[in-house]
Amino acid sequence: MECKINYAKLAIYGITQNTETMEYLMVFQYANNGSLSKYLRNNFCNLTWQTKLEILKNISNELDNIHRYANYIHADFH
């Protein structure tokens, strides 16, 4: 996702494993404008509640798609 108002979806390229922690990680398409958490940290006060809810809705829809159609299981999203 490029952290812009259009909230483009990121492609999931696959899954990898951290060799030190053995934690599994999802590999996503590069996001030119940085992570969503950084974007929200820097812009939270400038976003309307409608926009914040739209972002949350999009995230929940994509998580639903991961569970329903891709059969991926996740633990944490940071």
pLDDT tens readout for residues 8-24: 466 777 788 999 999 88
CB 15 within 8 A of CB 26: yes
**pTM (2 d.p.):** 0.59
Residue 6 lies in a domain: no
* Dihedral of the alpha carbons of 34, 77, 18, 70, in degrees to the nearest 10: -100
> How many domains does the chain contain in total?
1
The span from the CA of 4 to the CA of 25, in Å, is 24
Structural domain boundaries, residue 24: 12-70
pLDDT tens for 23-69 read: 888 787 887 778 888 888 999 999 999 999 998 888 888 777 777 77
